[in-house]
Amino acid sequence: MSELPLKWECVDISTFLYPVTTGVKPFIGKRKYYSTGSINGKAYLNEGEYTFQERPARANRMAEEGDVLQARMQGTDKVLLIDKSLSGQLFSTGFLQFRIIEKTYVSKLLLFFMKSGYFLKQRDEFATGSTQIALTDRGLSNIKLLVPPFNEQLRIVAKLEKLLHKIDACKERLDKIPLILKRFRQSVLSAACSGRLTEDWRKEHNEPEWKDAKIGDYCLDSFYGPRFGREEYVPEGIPTIRTTDFTDNGKIILSRPPCVLIPNEKKGKFLLRKNDLLITRTGSIGKMAIFRENYEAIPSAYLIRFRFKPEVSVDYLFLWLMSPEGQNLLGLGATAVTQPNVNAETIKGMPIPLPSLPEQQEIVRRVEALFKKADAIETRYKKAKAFVDKLTQSILAKAFRGELVAQDPNDEPASVLLERIRAEKQKSQKKVVSIKDRVEKYKPFIPSDLPMAAEEKAPYGNKRKKKRER
């Protein structure tokens, strides 16, 4: 920060706070243990309870109420303010631990500071390591802390709590949208494949009732994607389509596919045709797409290709297989009673309620129209979520620029807090030196008439040894 707000200070974090070193004093009973992985947003779950002797090697921190813990690994923003329920519990050495001198820095403001981009950018800049990049105690000495006047700290915390509470409430509402959209799409598919969606259309057009059929009744043939040797792959050739090229709505978007050379005499067997249905049989089992492209392509080894008669709509078959009923028969649905079993013969043997071809086409049209509306809502949701996700950092940045609350010229400047901390630390150092001096001056009383084990002439404990030597 090039220019500090009025009466603020920018100091080394280790000079203003007490970075707590690792080490746990022996304790009786069991304590809960929390690692950096225990924290998930506002929720935290302990990884077990341990005695002093049984605790994991990394369980080498014990926190007190008011301490602030921050995950030292690069790329994470996990931070924790210790309350009464967490005080006295064990924490991982994967945390940095800070203790505040009373009435110099508000604990909640330190929590917000360590969530801010101002701190996280410094943490990631000074983090080091080969296998796991993290902020070491040495790197910590480079971190700068922004210190507002104490009364201003209180105003900032009050304002941040109010604003961030609103943002959290907004996030909670937004987080419900994906599940609502998923349930909506499943409801549409269920209604479509049971006849409820086009019941009015069927009556209006005097369409016949649906008949029971099997997918195999309308399947011309099926084909398992071929395997190729390493030497058959070439930089330029015919692309092989993989599951990773499938979108959730059954489209195919190639992403740097492996290519092979195919002899002309095998092209008729291997190449895909328009309206071929592709279903994944291993890995992402049951994921599917319809081939509608204008280029030559081959299904990969993990796909099954189905080709259907013209009197059935492949789009309708796709929708039915994606419906809750179809997914359950594949063993993939939420209420499925069988294990996933995706192979050509199983799929051909699946029963399917089949309307007339015109009604199949009407079902596809109506489902696509409803899904288009759901897609529009999902796009708006993603934009809103991206905005809200950035809003927290924007507010924190504003807070630590001194722009969130009004500044009071009557506030005691932060420089006074610095003087208080220096005095407190000097007092602590003198106390440590005084204790050290007393330890060094202390000489235990040893009566002169007692035999000493260290004496050469009458060794206490060597007498037995000498007797045995005789």
User: Does the pLDDT at position 7 exceed 90?
Assistant: yes
The mean pLDDT value for 452-464 works out to 42
The CATH number of the structural domain formed by 211-354 is: 3.90.220.20
Distances (CA, A) of 349 to 133, 212, 219, 231, 309: 54, 12, 11, 37, 16
Cβ–Cβ < 8 Å for 274, 291: yes
C-alpha gyration radius of the chain: 35
Instruction: Summarize the chain as % helix, strand, coil (round to 5).
Output: 40, 15, 40
C-alpha distances out from residue 66 to 52, 81, 93, 159, 396, Å: 23, 6, 18, 20, 21
Which sequence spans correspond to the domains of the chain? 7-147, 211-354
| The token pair that represents 97 in the structure block | 């631990």
Do residues 286 and 342 make contact, with C-beta atoms less than 8 angstroms apart?
yes
Q: How confident is the model at residue 429 (pLDDT cuts 50, 70, 90)?
A: low
- CATH hierarchy code of domain 7-147: 3.90.220.20
Is residue 15 pLDDT above 60, yes or no? yes
- Give 284's pLDDT tier (boundaries 50, 70, 90): confident
Where does 117-194 show beta strands of DSSP type E? 144-147
Residue 52 exposed, middle or buried by CB count within 10 Å (0-12, 13-18, 19+): middle
Q: Do the first three CATH levels of 7-147 and 211-354 match, i.e. the same topology?
A: yes
Instruction: Tell me how far apart the alpha carbons of residues 13 and 190 are, in angstroms, rounded to a whole number.
Output: 59
HSE-up of residue 431 (Cα within 13 Å, Cβ side): 6
Lowest mean pLDDT among 209-213, 355-359, 437-441: 437-441
Could you tell me which of 71, 129, 124, 131 has the C-alpha nearest to residue 97? 71
135 contact partners, CB below 8 Å, separation of at least 6 = 72, 74, 96, 123, 126, 127, 128, 143
Mean pLDDT, the chain, rounded, equals 88
Closest CA to 375 of 191, 251, 197, 244: 251
